[in-house]
Structure formats: C-alpha cells, structure tokens
Amino acid sequence: MSPFWIFLAILILQRISELLLARRNERVVRANGAREYDEKGYRVIVLMHILFFISLISEYVFLNRTINYFWAPLLILFLIAQILRYWAISSLGYNWNTKILVTPNTRPVAKGPYKYRRHPNYLAVIIEIAVIPLIFSCYITAVTFTLLNLALLKRRIRIEEEALSIVDPRN
C-alpha cells in the first residue's frame, strides 16, 4: 500500500473518531442547555470537508500525483498542526465540538493554546487543509480548499464570536 493510501486511511479514521467525540460532547452540553448556532453553515462546512477528500483522491489518482520532494518538512508542519489541534480539543474538554454549541453563562476558555490565540483549533485546520494535499503534490486541491476553508472559517468565527458575546457580554 502506498504512503498516500495509508495516510488517507489514518486521516479518515481520525476524522471519524473526532465526529464520535463531537457527538458525545454535544449530548453533554445540550443536557446543560447549550444552543446551536448556524446549523446551515455547519452543513456547508461538512460538505466542504467531504469534497476536500474527494478532490484530494481524484487529483492524486487522475493526475498521477506523487509524493512531494519536500514531504518531510510538510509532514512535520502537519504534525505540529495536529499537536496544536489536540491541545485545543483537550483544553476545551466537553465544550469542543464541530458545531457551534454555546452553553448559557459560559465564559470562553482561556487555558492551553487559548491563552495565546483566540481560535487555535481553526489555525490548525487551516494548516491541515493546506498541507495535506501539498504532501502529495495535489496543488489544485491545496489552493482551492485553502481559499474555500478560509472563507468559511472567517464567517464561522464571526458567528461564533457573536454567540459567545450573547452568553457572556464581557467577551
């Protein structure tokens, strides 16, 4: 099996486990009165991630892409993004989710990477979406989905900030 298919399988298993974690966290915070914001926007983000994988696979297979000459530093950058993302997820605890779910009377988390950056998880996702295709020379996917992801995250962050300011006016 080629490195591409191994990497892809690990990535898909990782995403599935994260969706299961998000579902568990959603049950916990909804039991505490959490309200969901931007359900329609969430569907668009899910669709974008599905299309990302389809594009990545298609570009790799149909355009005969190969591993990038600079795969090692790109992989290191990907691994750094993973560390940041899982640090952010663990710092948020039950509040981490793939949806925008805000529990009443909740202050934004200010520990872990959130001490230094407002949305570290999104920074990690931006790096991942850009770097994963580059590792395998899938330049079309890298450019297209990096730009699309940036646009969607810009909107999502605005909505998330508004939701947080409603539950905590000090925000």
Q: Can you list the domains of the chain with their CATH numbers?
A: 3-167 (1.20.120.1630)
Q: What six digits make up the tokens of 67?
A: 């591993």
What is the identity of the amino acid at 59?
Answer: E
Q: What is the block-wise mean pLDDT of the chain (171 residues), using blocks of 10 residues?
A: 96 97 98 95 97 98 98 98 98 96 89 96 98 98 98 97 75 48
pLDDT at position 170:
53
Beta bridge pairs of residue 102:
35
Compute CA distances 90 → 18, 43, 87, 96, whole Å: 12, 24, 5, 8
pLDDT at position 107:
84
pLDDT at position 159:
96
Q: Using alpha carbons only, give the angle 86, 12, 121 rounded to the nearest 5 degrees.
A: 25
pLDDT at position 169:
52
